């Protein structure tokens, strides 16, 4: 990858990476650090990364950096357990996407990540599996369970509204 291609990647994908990370961890500074760290790694490894694969490389790097940070900070427990969760339903939502993003925050970490990669970036199960180091079946299970949760959430909010 050339310098120009690297700069194009920074122009094109930095917002995507930042958005993805920020939606996962609600901390702007940490999200920015992760974006910088990911692009620094890309710059170091630019000769072994093809421009066509740079987006996946960035998401993979950013995701794994984020997981490392989360584990170190122990802010979020990585679990796929929705059981016992009692959502608080607000009635001040302005639109459906706002409701969905509120629901998104309540998803378990891993489900939130795979749904964001699926909906924000349009990645296939296989691509998501590569980024998150899961297998395709696990990715599919997480996405389906996340959809059920989101559906139930917006269903209850609709009832309230």
Note whether 160 binds other proteins by CB under 8 A: no
**87 touches other proteins (CB under 8 A):** no
Q: Which stretch binds other proteins (CB under 8 A): 2-10, 65-73, 84-92, 126-134?
A: 2-10
Taking CB under 8 A as the criterion, the residue among 24, 25, 39, 128 binding other proteins is: 39
Q: For residues 107 and 79, is the Cβ–Cβ distance under 8 A?
A: no
Q: Which stretch binds other proteins (CB under 8 A): 48-56, 70-78, 85-93, 148-156?
A: 148-156
3-state SS track over 22-74: HHHCCCHHHHHHHHHHHHHHHHHCHHHCCHHHHHHHHHHHHHHHHHHHHHHHC
Buried b (16+ CB within 10 A) or exposed e, 26-49: eeeebbeebbebbbebbeeebeeb
* Residue from 27, 41, 43, 60 binding other proteins (CB under 8 A): 43
Give the binding site for other proteins (CB under 8 A): 2-4, 6-7, 10-11, 14-19, 22-23, 32, 35-36, 39, 43, 46-47, 96-97, 100-101, 104, 115-116, 118-120, 140-141, 143-145, 147-148, 150-151, 154-155, 158
């Amino acid at each position: 990858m050339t310098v120009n291609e690297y700069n194009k990647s920074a122009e094109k994908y930095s917002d995507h990476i930042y958005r993805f990370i920020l939606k996962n961890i609600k901390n702007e500074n940490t999200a920015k650090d992760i974006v910088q760290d990911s692009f620094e790694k890309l710059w170091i490894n630019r000769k072994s990364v093809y421009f066509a694969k740079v987006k996946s490389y960035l998401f993979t790097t950013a995701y794994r950096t984020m997981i490392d940070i989360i584990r170190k900070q122990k802010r979020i427990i990585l679990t796929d357990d929705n059981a016992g969760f009692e959502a608080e339903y607000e009635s001040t939502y302005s639109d459906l996407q706002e409701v969905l993003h509120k629901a998104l925050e309540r998803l378990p970490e891993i489900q939130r990540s795979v749904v964001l990669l699926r909906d924000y970036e349009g990645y296939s199960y296989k691509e998501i599996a590569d980024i998150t180091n899961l297998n395709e079946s696990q990715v599919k299970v997480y996405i389906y369970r996340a959809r059920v949760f989101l559906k139930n959430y917006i269903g209850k909010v609709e009832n309230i509204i």
